Amino acid sequence: MDTTAIDIPALAELGASERPFRPEEAADRARRAAAFVDTAALDRTGPGSYVLLWRNEHSEAWLNTWWESRDTGYHDHQGSCVGVHVIEGTAWQEGLPVGGPRRARRYGPGESFSFPGSGVHRMDHDAGAITIHVYSPPLQAIGHYEIIDGELHRTPGPPDEGSPASPRLLEALKAIGG
């Protein structure tokens, strides 16, 4: 991605902190970071991309473009909370339900949310969505969840790769009324 659409030096200042962010602070930083992105100048070809906006000892931020719809599958951030701001399009966020109904929530342009570092969730992005994700502390790994041979499994993955969908887990949740 051509980063001329992003004011990277200003974003580094925005990420400065003496400590890790709480989830709601990460969401606030994601919302504030949106002001430094010229969405009209973004290259809208291909499936989408991920651009690191800043990384320091307490947080990191990513600009994500979703030119094609994409389900992240159920995953965790291995202790890092996340704050997300939707700049354009629509994103859905859903925690992993246990003993209750699924609760997917839709977020549109200008809306933000956060999720704790102890949680497991998935996101589904409609084609054309642009989001900023702030993780605190910086991601060390991502755990991916799926049903394998009838059991829930967590597979660790690197922090800088997209997480795969969880089709069998999602189907199992739908089958039990979710």
pLDDT of residue 4: 62
CA angle 42, 137, 52 (to 5 degrees): 20
- pLDDT per residue as tens digits for the range 23-76: 999 999 999 999 999 999 899 999 999 999 999 999 999 999 999 999 999 999
Find out whether 127 and 165 touch, Cβ atoms under 8 Å. Answer: no
Taking the whole predicted model, whether its pTM rises above 0.85 is answered as yes
Residue 68, both tokens = 């094609």
pLDDT of residue 87: 98
- pLDDT per residue as tens digits for the range 140-167: 999 999 999 999 999 999 988 888 999 9
Q: Which domains, ranges and CATH numbers included, belong to the chain? A: 3-175 (2.60.120.10)
Reported as a pLDDT band with limits 50, 70 and 90, residue 178 is: low
Residue 16, both tokens = 């400065």
Pick the closest to residue 96 from 129, 126, 123, 132 (CA basis).
Answer: 123
